[in-house]
Amino acid sequence: MPDVNQAAQLLVGGLAAGTLYALVALGIVLLYRASRVLNFAHGDLATAATFVAFTLMAGGWGFPLASAAALAAAGMFAAGVYLVVLRPAREATLLGRIVVTLGLALVLNGLTTAVWGAETKVFPFPLSDTRVYRLGGVVVSQLSLGLMGAGLVLVAALYLVVQHTRAGLAMRAVAQHMEAAQALGIPARRILAFTWGLAGALGAAAGILTAPATLLDPAMMLDPFLKGFAGAVLGGMDSLPGAVLGGLCLGVLEALFAGYVSVKFKTTFAFLVIVLTLMLRPEGLLGREVRRRA
């Protein structure tokens, strides 16, 4: 009979990890919904932004200011990437666009390594990993609590932007039907650039929240990025609530798997989830993308 406390402990750990996956998944889904682009550079942009925050803090900036600056920089860079690289390639095939973001991922990763070096660094974070709270029989670190809180705030903020602003309405219109939106006078180019910027900033936030737990190095976001991808697939590639749900589910499932079956094959399990989802329910938990063939 499994211990209830242990299960609750795994659940909390899984939710903390799942929050990160959900943030990454949101960025991926935001872009996929808007322009049917799989952004393979998402993780590398997040890493680069985290390094920017790191450098700013080393230069004496406070954590909130440095993070905000990194988020803004990532957002502007992502919007610029859309306007300069992807906009001209909008006629390209699916393969062409995937290839472009893959190239971008390589460039960003290479530049991060070249500028900041490959050795790991400790990311100064205001919340501690070792200071813990006891809630009943469950131990929660300050860091996980902060992480989940920050995730909640970001998801709520994104919800407000997408559902309750004019820009969000335009984003949804462009995502639903680009030509119709343009015919109604929505500036699709600017809205898509805005979407990219939003996704970039979300990615940067995910990077900054990942760094204290994993240490900072150029390959830091590879694992969370791939898990975020898995979460996005699980939840449905075209559904924002799906991305959050998928990310959280993946985090919890993964933690339970690690706790009860095998820690070693934790990541393998995540990809088993992807493959199974794609085979059994390709549109994901909450996705609605019409499948051309059954």
- Amino acid present at 76: M
Give yes or no for residue 126 binding other proteins (CB under 8 A). no
Closest to 214 (Cα-Cα) out of 90, 85, 50: 50
| Closer Cβ to other proteins, 18 or 212, answer by number | 18
Tell me the two tokens of residue 184.
């109604």
> Among 174, 176, 177, 221, which residue's Cα sits nearest to residue 195?
174
Q: CB nearer to other proteins: give 237 or 244.
A: 237
Out of 131, 135, 261, 265, the residue judged to bind other proteins by CB under 8 A: 265
We find the least distance from the C-beta atom of residue 44 to other proteins, in angstroms, to be: 10
88 to 117, contacts with other proteins by CB under 8 A?
88-89, 92, 94-96, 98-100, 102-111, 113-114
List, in sequence order, every beta strand (DSSP E) within 59-209: 132-135, 138-141
**Cβ–Cβ < 8 Å for 269, 250:** no
* Binding flag, residue 2, other proteins (CB under 8 A): no
Count Cβ atoms within 10 A of the Cβ of residue 289 and give its class: 0-12 exposed, 13-18 middle, 19 or more buried. middle
Per CB under 8 A, the list member of 134, 164, 166, 293 interacting with other proteins is: 293
Residue 201 — φ and ψ, nearest 5°?
-65, -40
Site string for other proteins, 179-208 (x = CB under 8 A): ------------------------------
Burial environment of residue 205 by CB neighbours within 10 A (0 to 12, 13 to 18, 19 or more)? buried
> Closest approach of Cβ 235 to other proteins, in Å?
13
Instruction: Kindly state whether residue 286 participates in binding other proteins, applying the rule CB under 8 A.
Output: no
Residue 53 Cβ, how far from other proteins at the closest point, in Å? 22
33-47 in b/e form (b: 16+ CB < 10 A) is bbbebbbbbbbbbbb
What is the token pair recorded at 69?
């600056």
The H or E element containing residue 285 is: none
Stretch that binds other proteins, among 17-25, 164-172, 246-254, 264-272 (CB under 8 A): 264-272
Quick one: which of 131, 153, 268, 288 contacts other proteins (CB under 8 A)? 268
Looking at beta carbons only, is 101 or 144 nearer to other proteins?
101
One of 4, 153, 160, 278 touching other proteins (CB under 8 A): 278
Q: How many CA atoms lie within 13 A of 101 on its CB side?
A: 26
In sequence order, what are the beta bridge partners of 216? 121
Site residues for other proteins per CB under 8 A? 32, 36, 38, 85, 88-89, 92, 94-96, 98-100, 102-111, 113-114, 118, 222, 226, 229-230, 233, 237, 264-265, 267-268, 271-272, 274-275, 278-279, 282, 292-293
